[in-house]
Amino acid sequence: MDKIMSVFKINTRRVYLILSILLLISIATYFNFLSPQARAARHLAAVHEAVTEMHPAVLDKNAKSFHAWHAIAYGKAKVLLPKVHSVADENALLNFYFAGYEDAHLNGFVSQSPYTWMDFESARWTGWLTRATVTGFDVVMSLGGEKYPPVGAHLISCNKQPIDSFLKTNIAPFIDKRWHLLAARNKSAALLSLDVPNVHLLIRPTVSSCDFEAETGGIKSFQTQWSSVSAENEKEFAKIYSPGYEYPSVHEFAPKSYWVNVSDFQLNSAEAYRHHQELLSDLRALTDVDLIVFDTRMNNGGNSMLGDEILESFFGDERLYYLQQRLAGKAPDSEAVFRASWKFYWAYVFKYKQQRMRQGVDSTGLEFLEKILSRLKHALEHNQEIFLQSELGLENERGRSEFLKENNLHWRPKGKVVLLTSRNCFSSCLNFADTLKQVPELIHLGEPTNGDTIYTHIAETVSSYFREDYLFSVPIKAFTNRWRDDNQPHIPEVIYNGNIYTDPLEGWVREQVRQKQ
């Protein structure tokens, strides 16, 4: 019996030892391979490698601001890895990396992760939210009462530091440094009082109190108090910061007055593509028009060809050529240059298959993708680092010029034209505005737009690591000369100061048009 007990004790100790070793191996595996810090390190390395291989500015010695950040970006972000403890932190770390380039085409997010259950940080907010305006930062949501600033109050300072300086110094470097843009200031304003997985700071400044000026006058200080976010809170946040999606469409909102919802230049579903085709057909049918409003409030970019289709459907070929020629005249030497890389190639093979599946073989831009892939593969096989967009043979610019010259084309009005923009307008939405603003006597209303750089036409790629996917975008085309400066917004003639996404605007637009007549 004693012998049996002795063997049992030995075996028990062995089991404990084996279990302890397995536990240590599991812990070591987690921290070295599966932890948020390990995953973020892998994504950071993949992103930096992709930017180095794909971005056109790498080949441009004159892109000094790009090279200044690119030389230190990886190292600076790597230093922050010990602060990463969740999927939200992973996103925040990569946001810091991208922010330094001051180019919103460089961005990314964790699109799929089986590890979110490990994130112990719950969503929270300070009980009030501010929105950036042209003149400052205003409270747009509040729990009210004595402890929170009222809706409509103007945020003046935090920790007794002027709010503009406080946000620019403590928050903007981690999310968007382009401080002259309303869209960038709005991101910092949101992060000041909101902490949720998709709106998160890796290094959050401690804010003890903030000072507000009420609409009725008088300045009052409020202590910062964080509380959990409810489901109802989240719905209200969405109304303030995220414009809702509507399919492209047009409707008559007054006699001979038409409102065009230019909401989508991406068309990521067959249904969206169908609505876009219906919009084109409806625009071609409009003949008796006194006023037409092109509403881009929900448009944050995509395929510029879709914008050209909309303009061509309403104005016709000749008028569109006229607008494009006026725009081209502002930068006659402009040329688009693609940088060749295999990452670019495989990203566009996937994009081509996706577009063909969603939109069919006759979809807008499919021919463009085919020509890009063909020319790109030729460049890669012949060790060519770049190729010109003009080499794709999609359009004959000289033919357009000769057409306009021979026909002595002048602008023939087709009703009063209004462009409505928001801070959300970006990339191909900006291109759409570029062209539309060549319309003589056009009225531009709404909010100042976002801005972009000469580096456009993104390729989407992914960093996959232990079943977690980080999806990110890298520009693969550069303009050698462009009519719009880097990160230059379009500024409306009349700026709307309310919530441009939820407020009814048809009456306001009609009143602004009436005042212009």
Query: Quick one: what percent of the chain has pLDDT higher than 90?
Result: 72
- Helix spans in 30-162 (H): 36-54, 64-79, 87-99
CA of 233: how far to CAs of 42, 142, 238, 243, 517, in Å?
34, 10, 9, 16, 43
User: Looking at this protein, which amino acid is placed at residue 167?
Assistant: L
Tokens of 271: 């249904």
Task: Please tell me the predicted confidence (pLDDT) of residue 15.
Answer: 58
DSSP state of 269: S
Neighbours of 101 (CB within 10 A): 22
Residue that is written with structure tokens 């968007």 in the block:
176
In this structure, are residues 112 and 468 in contact, taking their beta carbons and an 8 Å threshold?
A: yes
Range(s) within the chain of domains with CATH label 3.90.226.10: 243-333+396-451+489-517
Return the closest-CA partner of residue 305 out of 269, 337, 273: 273
Architecture of domain 243-333+396-451+489-517: Alpha-Beta Complex (3.90)
pLDDT at position 215: 87
Cα–Cα dist 11/34, whole Å: 32
301 Cβ neighbours under 8 A, 6+ residues apart: 265, 266, 426, 427, 428, 429, 430
Bridge partners for 155 per DSSP: 212
Give CA–CA dist 154/189, Å, rounded: 12
Is 345:461 a contact under the CB 8 Å cutoff?
no
Which pairing describes strands 443-446 and 257-261: parallel, antiparallel, or unpaired?
unpaired
| Residue segments in the chain with a per-residue pLDDT below the cut of 50 | 23-31, 396-399, 403, 406
pLDDT on residue 13: 61
456-510 pLDDT, tens per residue? 999 999 999 988 999 999 999 999 989 999 999 999 999 999 889 888 999 999 9
Q: What is the pLDDT of residues 33-55, one digit of tens each?
A: 579 999 999 999 999 999 999 99
CATH number of 124-228: 2.30.42.10
Which amino acid would we find at residue 224?
T
- The residue written with tokens 């062995």 in the block is 14
Determine the pLDDT at residue 406. Answer: 47
* pLDDT of res. 110: 92
Contact 364, 303 (CB under 8 A): yes
The pairing of strands 468-479 and 494-495 is unpaired
Between CA 95 and CA 123 the distance in angstroms is 19
- pLDDT value at position 414? 79
Total length of the chain: 517
State how far the Cα of 174 lies from the Cα of 112, in Å rounded to an integer.
22
CATH 2.30.42.10 domain locations along the chain: 124-228
> Residue 388's closest CA among 321, 454, 479, 475?
479
Q: What is the SS3 assignment for 393?
A: coil
Of the candidates 419, 425, 434, the one whose C-alpha atom is nearest the C-alpha of residue 325 is: 434
Task: With CA atoms as reference, report the closest residue to 447 among 498, 487, 486.
Answer: 498
Instruction: Name, in order, each residue with C-beta under 8 angstroms of 222's C-beta and a sequence gap of 6 or more.
Output: 128, 147, 148, 149, 209, 210, 211, 212
